[in-house]
Chain A
């Protein structure tokens, strides 16, 4: 990753934005504090000058002009820094004491600049401003002033502290944001690398979770789920290609041989017509097998799922009962159906596919059971899941073969010589899977129980 990608990352931008807001707030606070402190100090200084002036006025009242003159001289001598400004004028505005050249009296409290006054000794002050006030005395005028130097110094301290503080704060914020952005970018890069690896063919790679359960972890988990599905689809496709290549070529090969034989050995037109008719029907079987394979693949890939609507399984099963009751009777079998529900058993699904699935299972039972057998269908609820069982008292499926029967083209050992494509149960498995149902095969002793469990979805239509 490079610098540009860090600065473009969402994490960095978020962090930088927060830092920015924080800094703006800090600036505002500092500015407010500065202004308040400044105003307070200013006020204090003015008070101080006013008080000093009043003190001198009191002295003048009590001890007279001469006392004031002595006091001013003493003050000027004592002040070693040009912090204070004193000017004592007599009634004719002539200077009597003080440390500045005479200036004209003014009213009230004023701020005077350094340019407006001149200190009498060469210790000219560097101070820029003075807060000063003229007071009327009995025999003259007195100017008392104090420099604003202290205030300016404090203001400077606050300012430079602020600048340093905010400056370093900004630097730290940028650094922190960059660090946060870098950490986030690392994780985003990890996700991107995994996806690229999968796209390159390493289908087993999955995103490693940071373990914090945060939003990136949640998305990563979901992506892993999608990758799992992708891997299973690819495996399914691979299996289909293998199945088609191997298992369709066998009947096609057989057909070729039959046609060959017919060409070489048949005698009359009738026999030839017969052979051609048989060949035609075999081809139909091959096409049907191919179509069935394609359907299974499409169902496994999720076709039809977007058209799912609420389906009442009780209605589907009643329909199946309606259709197959007489077919079972014709085959010498008894069929009993127990739908243990007064309320609708609703799931999201496709009626056509579900009907085909149940039809397949019933037909399996009808074809495998000897006359006199019993087929029972039940529908009920266990632990909030909808459970459907189709049981027969026929030969059943040996335990060793139970997990293999759902594979495409799988034929039970004992059935190998009988007609049948071996795809019926694969289709059942595919349709069940599409509807989120689990299929389990159990021993009825004797016979087979096929158990379908449709998990109840939370937050679904009220049962």
Chain B
């Protein structure tokens, strides 16, 4: 993917730049808001990574301006500002995701990937299908190999998010945010318990395991080749 990184701290910028290149992405890196705005407006990028505290033009204003001008590229805010109101401000300004520094690199990559590509499923698709697993969003039903599976509302939502992000790694934090709307780290095994329950219902009774644990990072749902 083609990524624009707007970050004024040289160490952080280098760290991210190198990491993204190792993952196979193309990266343009700039160190201030004005240059960032210029580049984002004149070139096409798959993802914009924007620090909030920038010289010349701060991150929030930059994104607001871009959105106002019609730029729809997904924006990931990267920032030390992790206060109770800061994330909401970032999303209100037009950001798509918000990651607080310092962060684990695997978390960063997982979120970039989640933002970057279009969903494997067409928008407004009401039926999601991976291998023989089918999820009907309208009827709120799940079937595998033709058999109906009964899921609790949160299990359904968890499966929905996993299927919509088929093939991508979703970190524990991402799942907590998207499935449970938890913006804090629970000390108990909320995610693990629910994944385990889901597996019991949709993986164990069947041939292939679709839900995979990616050690050290998170979970992913895909059909193994």
Interface residues of A (CB under 8 A from B): 283-284, 287-288, 291, 294-295, 298-299, 303-304, 307, 322-324, 326-327, 330-331, 351-353, 355-356, 359, 363, 366-367, 420, 424
Contact = CB atoms under 8 A, between A and B. Distances in A.
Contacts of A298: 83-85
Interface stretch (B16-24, B51-59, B184-192): B184-192
B121 interface: no
Contacts of B154: 322-323
Contacts of B153: 322
A438 B196 CA distance: 37
Given A287-B102, A363-B188, A367-B187, A295 B182 contact: no
Given A322-B152, A322-B154, A356-B182, A327 B84 contact: no
Contacts of B184: 356, 359
B83 A303 contact: yes
19 contacts: A284-B104, A294-B82, A295-B82, A295-B84, A298-B83, A299-B84, A303-B83, A324-B190, A326-B194, A327-B188, A327-B190, A327-B193, A330-B196, A331-B188, A352-B183, A355-B181, A359-B184, A359-B186, A420-B187
Interface string B59-81: 00000000000000000000000
Contacts of A355: 181-182
B206 interface: no
A327 B187 contact: no
A326 B187 contact: no
Interface string B199-220: 0000000000000000000000
A124 B195 CA distance: 129
A287 B181 CA distance: 22
Interface majority SS on B: helix, strand, loop or mixed? loop
Q: Which 3 A-B pairs have the closest CB atoms?
A: A327-B193, A303-B84, A363-B188
Interface residues of B, number: 26
Interface in B64-123: 82-85, 88, 100, 102, 104
A113 B84 CA distance: 96
Contact of A294 (B83, B188, B189): B83
B189 A330 contact: yes
Contacts of A353: 84
A326 B153 CA distance: 13
A359 B84 contact: no
Interface of B: 82-85, 88, 100, 102, 104, 152-154, 180-190, 193-194, 196-197
Nearest to A304: B84
Contact of B182 (A288, A291, A359, A420): A359
B179 to A, nearest CB: 9
A429 B187 CA distance: 18
For B182, B184, B189, B194, the residue with the greatest tally of chain A CB atoms inside 10 Å of its CB is B184
Given A322-B154, A323-B190, A291 B100 contact: yes
A244 to B, nearest CB: 15
For B102, B182, B193, B194, the residue with the greatest tally of chain A CB atoms inside 10 Å of its CB is B193
Contact of B193 (A287, A291, A330, A356): A330
Contacts of A331: 188
Contacts of B197: 326
Contacts of A359: 182, 184, 186
A367 B188 contact: yes
Contacts of B84: 295, 298-299, 303-304, 353
Given A284-B102, A326-B197, 8 more contacts: A323-B180, A323-B190, A324-B190, A326-B193, A330-B193, A359-B186, A367-B188, A424-B187
B209 to A, nearest CB: 20
A287 B194 CA distance: 27
Contacts of B187: 363, 367, 420, 424
Contacts of A294: 82-83
A326 B187 CA distance: 15
Contact of B185 (A288, A324, A330): A288
Nearest to A287: B102
B89 to A, nearest CB: 11
B92 to A, nearest CB: 11
A135 B85 CA distance: 105
A287 B80 CA distance: 11
Contacts of A322: 152-154
A355 B190 CA distance: 14
Contacts of A323: 154, 180, 190
Contact of A363 (B102, B186, B193): B186
Nearest to B82: A291
A7 to B, nearest CB: 47
A432 to B, nearest CB: 15
A433 to B, nearest CB: 14
A289 to B, nearest CB: 11
A327 B189 contact: yes
A236 to B, nearest CB: 15
Contacts of A366: 188
Nearest to B87: A352
Nearest to A356: B184
B90 to A, nearest CB: 15
B181 A352 contact: yes
For B183, B188, B190, B193, the residue with the greatest tally of chain A CB atoms inside 10 Å of its CB is B188
A420 B190 CA distance: 17
Contacts of B152: 322
A452 B102 CA distance: 35
Contacts of A424: 187
B8 to A, nearest CB: 21
B146 to A, nearest CB: 27
Contacts of B104: 284
